[in-house]
Amino acid sequence: MQYPVRVEKPNPVFARALQQAIGGIEGEMRVCLQYLFQAWNSRGPVKYRDMLMNTGTEEIGHIEMLATAVAMNLEGASVSVQEEAANHPIMNAAMGGVSARAEIGSQLARHVLSSGQGAMATDSDGVPFNGSWVVGSGNIAADMYANVMAESTGRLLATRLWEMTDDPGMKDMLSFLIARDTMHQNQWLAVLEELGQDHLPIPNSFPQEQENQDFNYAFFATGMEPQKAPDGRWAKGKSIDGKGQFSFVPQMTPVGEKSTLGPPNPKGHAQVEQMMAYEDATDTSEDD
């Protein structure tokens, strides 16, 4: 085990919450697989591949820690423990001030029925892990932002779990995971720093003169009424990529026409009224 996992006061409700850190979109299965797939698909500087492989491998150990913590929290807790939990202020705050007792025992049927008091590859609602979350785009800068994002929401989740428990073992385990997320946020940002200022806009290999030059640094307000310029960095001054000037459009005006699609394919069996609409439209003596 990468780091000690101890549970002094098993809490089945906390077990369920920990599942979010295993199989949720902010969880460790996602980052583990994301870094490994990015490594395996890596084309470009070799050192990034090695870094991704190292960190992807590290994350397997995090899943193990969390799965073990889930299993331990599902083991027989005593009533007195739960009583104590009921008086815990954070649980009270989060849940609207009411006794945490109501929490206990809920949502746990699945862990009893399907996994025999073990962890599952799901989030805290029992929704299965989904492979679509594994981002590996083939562009190193886009991937790094995907990784910063994953570690930002991941660290946020870990701090919220830290607040939810007062078990010293669990707090200690989470203080380790939070620390690693700090490192990983910094790590992916370090790659972006190394790639240099010119990594933006992503991808930086597209000839930027081919993008529409009228709208590439303009902030559009889209309300029913014109808006006044926001007091924000994104509406004036040099753009963050250093390649343009922010401007502000108080009310976006559509410049495209309404589309006119052709008639339905007769073999696609729209209603006859739909097809007649086109015949009417092309009939000079009528309109619709």
The interface with its own copies within residues 88-127 (CB under 8 A) comprises 90-91, 93-110, 112-127
Q: Determine phi and psi for 271, rounding to 5 degrees.
A: -70, 150
Q: Is 206 in the site for its own copies (CB under 8 A)?
A: yes
Of the candidate residues 168, 175, 197, 283, the single one contacting its own copies (CB under 8 A): 175
Instruction: Pick between residue 8 and residue 213 the one whose CB is nearest to its own copies.
Output: 213
User: Binding to its own copies by residue 226, rule CB under 8 A?
Assistant: no
CA-wise closest residue to 62 among 28, 15, 38, 33? 28
Chosen residue from 87, 182, 197, 283 binding its own copies by CB under 8 A = 182
Out of 8, 130, 197, 283, the residue judged to bind its own copies by CB under 8 A: 130
Q: How far apart are CA 11 and CA 8, in angstroms?
A: 9
User: How far is Cα 267 from Cα 16, in angstroms, rounded to an integer?
Assistant: 52
Q: Does residue 166 interact with its own copies by CB under 8 A?
A: no
Binding mask 27-56 for its own copies (x = CB under 8 A): --x---x--xx--xxxxxxxxx-xx-xxx-
Residues near 114 by beta carbon (within 8 Å), at least 6 away in sequence: 120
Question: Which pair of structure tokens corresponds to residue 22?
Answer: 């295993």
Which CB atom, from 285 or from 287, has the smaller least distance to its own copies? 287
Based on CB atoms, which residue is closest to its own copies, 12 or 170? 12
Q: How far apart are CA 191 and CA 140, in angstroms?
A: 9
248 binds its own copies (CB under 8 A): no
Transcribe 210-250 into DSSP letters.
GS-TTSTTEEEP-SSS--PPPSSGGGSSB-TTSSSB-EEES
Tell me if 57 contacts its own copies by CB under 8 A.
yes
Judged by beta carbon, residue 126 or residue 285, the one nearer its own copies is 126
Question: Please, are residues 69 and 4 in contact by the beta-carbon 8 Å criterion?
Answer: no
Between 81 and 284, CB nearer to its own copies? 81
209 versus 284: smaller Cβ distance to its own copies: 209
